[in-house]
Amino acid sequence: MGTLVELIKETYDQKACLEITNSGCSNGACTRHNYQADTLLLYMSYSDEIIKYTSDKLGYTFLSNLAIEFGSPLKKDKDHDQLSWQDVVSACPNKDDYKHALVWKFIELVAKEKNLENKQ
């Protein structure tokens, strides 16, 4: 089994990657992974790669902030030690919505990478 990055680059052609980059997955550009059932399967199979790739590109703070957007009650404040992104995600009440959004962000990042490779 190859990497998810390779799979996404093979799944979406240059035109689709440009559309994903310009309008994002949430606007329907991500035609092969539009439904939560599709993205959750990807997450279950490739979660380590998704987390590593996304955090390498955007930082672990992105993972925490995304979980907070999906209802995680844990936030960093001056009365507590800095919480890890894992703590914030584990407190997220709807982990499936979080995972779906994370996979979409991953696909958007890979689409952008493919666009940049094709410009060179």
74: DSSP letter: -
Could you tell me which of 13, 17, 7, 12 has the C-alpha nearest to residue 42?
A: 7
Q: Are 68 and 75 in contact (CB under 8 A)?
A: yes
In the predicted structure, residue 30 carries a pLDDT above the cut 60 = yes
Domain extents for the chain? Answer: 4-119
pLDDT confidence band for 10 (50 / 70 / 90): very high
The one-letter code for the residue type at 82 is Q
How much of the chain, in percent, has pLDDT values that exceed 70? 91
Nearest 10 degrees: CA dihedral of 60, 51, 112, 110?
Answer: 170
- Tens of pLDDT, residue by residue over 52-110, are 999 999 998 898 889 889 988 876 554 445 667 788 888 889 999 999 999 999 999 99
Torsion 38-34-89-50 (CA) sign: positive
